A and B are shown apart, each in its own frame.
Chain A
Amino acid sequence: MALEDYKADMERCSQCSYCKWIPLDQVKSWRFAKGCPSIAYSNFLSYSARGRFAVALSLLNKQSTYTDRVVDVIYKCTTCGSCDVSDKICRYNLEPLEMIQELKIRAVEDGQVLPQHTAVIEHLKKENNMMMAPAAERGDWAKGLDVKNITEKSTEVVFHAGCRFSYDKDLQEKTRTAVTLLKNAGVDIGIMGKEESCCGGRAYDMGYKDDFVKAAEKTTTAWKAAGVKTVVTSCADCFHAFSRLYPPLGENFEVLHTVQYLDRLIKEGKIKFSKTVPMRITYHDPCHLGRRGEPYVPWDGKEKKIMNQIVVYEPTKPRYNGAWGVYDPPRDILKSIPGVELVEMERIKEYAWCCGSGGGSREAYPDFSNWTATERIEEAKATGAEALVSACGWCERNFLDAISTAGEKMQVLDITDLVKQAI
């Protein structure tokens, strides 16, 4: 849909400001009541969903034009979807996150881009990754790992490492662990090594829709050639791209995040724990696995009115409001590990605070991104946990950096780290 298609939403926005907070029912304290990192950091109303509706309408109505401030408003958003969840507490006919995404796409189409983003996108075009690293080194994480490459031998299950987990030297071991755990549990799994390319999801969240589509086509062409039916990934951003952004392009693979697969294997008795991991931990829901990780439901319909003026859709439109995200599998895994004590933060599941890495914020606004991560570290510390555990390389990298900047001592772990320790 085009930005103009959201004009009705812009005029129907209630201007109630729920988008700034976590759902009000879930507020447990002054300290951790905020939901939207963008307005929490920048403060002006424009940096909330209601503000972005207004800014977009102002631009569409030609009441204003692009300025540095407008560009800042458009891009300084992690597209975490917190506003979307909170707005939909009271509304069934508004799509703030979709509109914010379209606003970014429009800005890119209009040439209103950030140099930090264009550098990354130019690199993506040449080297197929978002890490400013050579394509040739993408498969290095798997050196010495006994796993087949699907470009050489067809397989139905492919493990997609993703850009962050492929290149980030602090995280590569976690990638190896994920593959090893799956393989040892009997999963016939392959990788693409240096032939793997970016999912395109982060480019989409920055507003680069065309580059996303090209990345998606490249990836799915390779999968199809190798006979892939199921895709497994440890990266929440990739998971979201494959499960939510690819199906509208006509691509339908079974998509599982590693935590979903591991949870299944644990419950089937194919992974058994023999060691105790005495550790008090807390779990961070990655946005793209949690509230944005809801299953895609095809819909092709239109708005209609009932009872004179009630706005509904025909046929019934799927409702993405965070209710169906991937929340239980990671928690079930953590609870099943002997010795692990899971203590929850105040903001969890559909109303979890973002890590600050998404939407191009890490690339273009390092201070904002780091501040957002630091807020989460503070929340994790308040639980008394020794470690902040997550299921996304981008979240983990942002937390590691924030901890390093702040001189904190909290450990940052991937769920696979704990599973490995317990076997």
Chain B
Amino acid sequence: MTLSKDVYQSFEDIVGSNNISDDPALLDSYRYHLAHTAIHLGPYYRVYTPRGAAVLLPGSVEEVQAIVRLCNKHKLRVKPSSTFWSAWGYPLEDNTIQLDMRRMDRILEIDEKNMYAVVEPHVIGAILQAEAMKVGLNTHIHGPGSSCSCLASATALAGFGPDSMYMGQHSENLLGAEWVMPDGEILRVGAAGSGLDWYTCDGPGPSLKGLVRGGQGTFGGLGVFTKCALKLYPWPGPANFPVEGKPPAYKVKLPDNIRGYTLAFSTWKGWADCCYMIWEAGIGYVAHRQYSMFGRDLKGAMVKILSDHTKTLSDIEEMLKDPEIQEFTKEMHRDFQIVVAGMTPRDIEWQDKVLDKILEATGGWKVKGMLESDLYNWSLLYMLRLGHKNLNLVYAGGYDGCFGIGGTPDFGTSAPNEGEPERVEQATEFKKEWEKKGNIVAAGGDGMMGGIGGFGGGGHAMWENFTHFDPHDKESTEGTLEFFGATSEFGKQKGWGPGMEKMNDYARWTDGRTTPKEIREKLLSGGGVAFRYQRKFKEAFDPNSLGDGYYRTLD
């Protein structure tokens, strides 16, 4: 749809002529290709999200409010996005006004004493972390990595990541938010809403945190968040990362109170027990099964390539023939990465001793190859900054996660029935069979990547089995779609529950647009009461239905 001249002019009057466009080619740069990081639907070959009616770049909450009011007046859908990392941030329907929040990019405050920051939508993890580190603090960086918006993670999504065990999910870290409601009114949630500082999201007075973001977040489907406060955490390291090395193999040497290891285990039971014992002991700063995203058979070669600027993907095949790399890879079969950070010299010594005791008790060890200085310093920077997270797309530009084995660490690592392999091994074998068809990267079946502690304090582990394909290749993309269909069926047959591969089918369908109502309701039926309540919220707050179907509701 093209906006009428009058309507366009009304929007232009709000943001200025430099901050609005309905140029078709420009609008096409605000569409998302549903054949790579589709998170989590498809992949659909050469299917794009709908073209917006116009893109606007608001510069203030007042402008956002005026835009939303105008959208109500003209019954235009509105979709905000900050860093546009995945399909969530893009319209489901035509006739949508897209808000690119990048002009609202300030860190409004870092309260060192009370350990929180107030940020606008386009503040990304790397920037908030860099500024927080200057005053001895740190921020949680969520799974998609430090290129993504902190606010979007906290208000619109679940927001967990490798450091969640120590620094929580961003949904937990949310200490207040400024929300332009779908009707254009502004609501400040938490203490800030009572004219106080941004120290809590739950009062004084009734808490509205659950209402505005729900359990999973609004996915940009209900109003526009224009600022939020996030809890910060202690950082016992330098004020800046003293980065060394040539791109892309950047490395950092940190003081001895910050240490990073790859832990490996002879059994999956040992792996799971180690998670429990780490949480129980309260040690660790970052913990994640990260490099497995390259695949069980390839991760040894890949970390060597990525930490050496002279190497490229062309070196993989030769490296896989190297007996040392073969042994190194084999050693990391059941692994995860951990960073321990001591607030004092005694603390780090204690944490390391506890970790050694845990490893002794669980049959685990610190992988020696990962202690070699180049790999060690590369991995430490990787895990702390999460600035290479889009390596999940390294092979050909397309990936998505399937299975999604989540829950207690036992769930993925134990056998569902006596005499059967563990779930992770069953999923691995299943994927390996599909790798033989040639449409996905032959990575060894196990690309299970995920957090060791999805919440603050631990208690939850979740993996998604990374699957890599070529979004430019029809056969590869459609073969991947077929594989994901099979994994869903496999999970259903096994009683493991739905996989991540179709997590967002409830919102966006095969044509890139809103999922048909009857299918959506069926897919969301498991959400029961919560989604019915969300329907009531939507009716109350979004009477003109300007938001989209990513916000989960059931009639």
A interface list, Cβ under 8 A from B: 7-8, 11-18, 21, 23-30, 33, 43-46, 50-52, 54-55, 57-59, 63-65, 67, 69-70, 73, 85, 88-94, 305-314, 316-317, 319, 321-323, 350-351
9 inter-chain pairs at a CB distance below 8 angstroms, sorted by A residue, are: A12-B471, A26-B243, A29-B131, A54-B31, A55-B26, A67-B24, A69-B23, A93-B396, A307-B443
Q: Is the CB of B247 within 8 A of A27?
A: no
Contacting A18 at CB < 8 Å: which of B130, B246, B390? Answer: B390
Whether the pair B107, A30 counts as a contact (CB closer than 8 A) is yes
Asked if A46 and B387 sit within 8 Å, CB to CB, the answer is no
Would you give the shortest CB distance from B314 to chain A, in whole angstroms?
4
- Rounded to whole angstroms, the CA-CA distance of A70 and B21 in the bound complex is 11
Q: Please give me the 6 A-B residue pairs with the lowest Cβ-Cβ distance, nearest first.
A: A24-B387, A12-B397, A64-B25, A58-B28, A51-B29, A54-B29
Complex Cα distance, B381 from A214, in Å, reads: 47
A94 CA / B390 CA spacing, docked (Å) = 13
Give chain A residues whose Cβ lies under 8 Å from the Cβ of B247.
23, 85, 88-89, 321-323, 350-351
Question: Closest residue to A88 on the B side, CB-wise?
Answer: B248
Q: How far is the CB of A349 from chain B (nearest CB, A)?
A: 9
Q: Which residues of B contact A351 (CB under 8 A)?
A: 247
In the assembled complex, B316 has its CB within 8 A of some CB on chain A = yes
- B226 located at the interface, meaning its Cβ lies under 8 Å from any Cβ of chain A in the complex: no
Write the chain B residue with the least CB distance to A53: B29
- Return the contact of A312 from the options B23, B25, B314, B387 (Cβ within 8 A): B314
B25 touches A73 (CB 8 A): yes
Residue pair A14, B314 in contact (C-beta under 8 Å): no
Query: What is the CA–CA distance of A142 and B530 in the complex, to the nearest angstrom?
Result: 80
Please pick, from A16, A90, A309, the residue contacting B469 in the complex, using a CB distance under 8 A.
Answer: A309
Given known A-B contacts A92-B394, A308-B440, A15 and B100 have beta carbons under 8 A apart: no
Closest Cβ of chain A to B146, distance in Å, is 5
Specify which of B85, B388, B471 is in contact with A11 (CB 8 Å cutoff).
B471
Q: Which of B33-41, B172-180, B402-410 lies at the binding interface?
A: B33-41
Of residues A25, A314, A319, which shows the largest number of chain B Cβ atoms within 10 Å of its Cβ?
A: A25
B147 adjacent to A23 (CB under 8 Å): no
Q: Which residues of A contact B390 (CB under 8 A)?
A: 14, 16, 18, 89-91
Interface residues of B (CB under 8 A from A): 18-19, 21, 23-26, 28-33, 35-37, 46, 55, 57, 83-85, 100, 102-103, 106-107, 123-124, 126-127, 129-131, 145-147, 240-241, 243, 246-248, 250, 252, 298, 309, 312-317, 381, 385-391, 393-398, 435, 438-443, 468-473, 476
Pick the residue among A12, A64, A316 that contacts B396 (CB under 8 A).
A12
In the assembled complex, the Cα of A8 lies from the Cα of B30 at a distance in Å of: 19
Known pairs A15-B85, A16-B37, A46-B25; list 13 more (Cβ under 8 Å): A15-B84, A25-B388, A27-B129, A27-B130, A44-B57, A45-B29, A64-B23, A67-B25, A88-B247, A93-B397, A307-B443, A309-B469, A311-B313
Q: Which residue of A lies closest to B25 (CB)?
A: A64
Contact A323 B246 (CB under 8 A): yes
Could you tell me the distance in whole angstroms from the C-beta of B279 to the nearest C-beta in chain A? 29
User: How far is it, in angstroms, between the C-alpha of A59 and the C-alpha of B28 when the chains are bound?
Assistant: 10
* Given A17-B147, A307-B441, A310-B441, A90 contacting B29 (CB threshold 8 A): no
Closest A residue to B310 by CB, please name it.
A323
- In whole angstroms, what is the CA distance A313 to B313 when docked? 9
Closest B residue to A39 by beta carbon equals B102
Query: Residues of B contacting A350 with CB < 8 Å?
Result: 246-247
A309/B396 in contact, CB under 8 A: yes
Nearest-Cβ distance from residue B133 to partner chain A, whole angstroms = 9
**Are A90's CB and B391's CB within 8 A?**
yes
CA distance A309 to B477 in the complex (A): 10
Whether A63 pairs with B388 at a CB distance below 8 angstroms is no
List of A residues within 8 angstroms of B30 by Cβ: 45
User: Whole-angstrom distance between the alpha carbons of A15 and B240 in the complex?
Assistant: 28
A43 contacts B57, CB within 8 Å?
Answer: yes
The answer on a CB contact under 8 Å between B470 and A30 is no
Distance (Å) between the CB of A127 and the closest chain B CB? 36
In the assembled complex, which residues on chain A have CB atoms less than 8 Å from the CB atom of B28?
Answer: 54-55, 57-58, 63-64
Tell me the smallest distance from the CB of A310 to a CB of chain B, in Å. Answer: 5
**B475 (CB) vs chain A CBs: closest residue:** A309
Cβ-neighbour of B313 out of A18, A45, A93 (below 8 A) = A93
Q: By the criterion CB–CB under 8 Å, are A310 and B25 in contact?
A: no
Complex Cα gap A23–B435 (Å): 33
- Within the assembled complex, what's the spacing in Å between the Cα atoms of A345 and B315? 35
Question: Is there contact, CB below 8 Å, between B84 and A45?
Answer: yes
Contact B26 A44 (CB under 8 A): yes
How far does the Cβ of B85 sit from chain A's closest Cβ, in whole Å? 7
Interface centre among A33, A70, A307 (most CB of B within 10 A): A307
Are A309 and B388 closer than 8 Å at their CB atoms?
no
| Contact (Cβ within 8 A) B241 A25 | yes
CA distance A13 to B396 in the complex (A): 9
* Residue in B closest to A316 when the chains form the complex, CB atoms: B314
Within 8 Å CB of A18, what residues of B? 147, 390
Q: How far is the CA of A129 from the CA of B440 in the complex (A)?
A: 52
Whole-angstrom distance between the Cβ of B188 and the nearest chain A Cβ: 23
Contact A24 B145 (CB under 8 A): yes
Per a CB cutoff under 8 Å, which of A15, A30, A310 touches B130? A30
Partner of B470, one of A52, A64, A311, A314: A311
CA distance A16 to B399 in the complex (A): 12
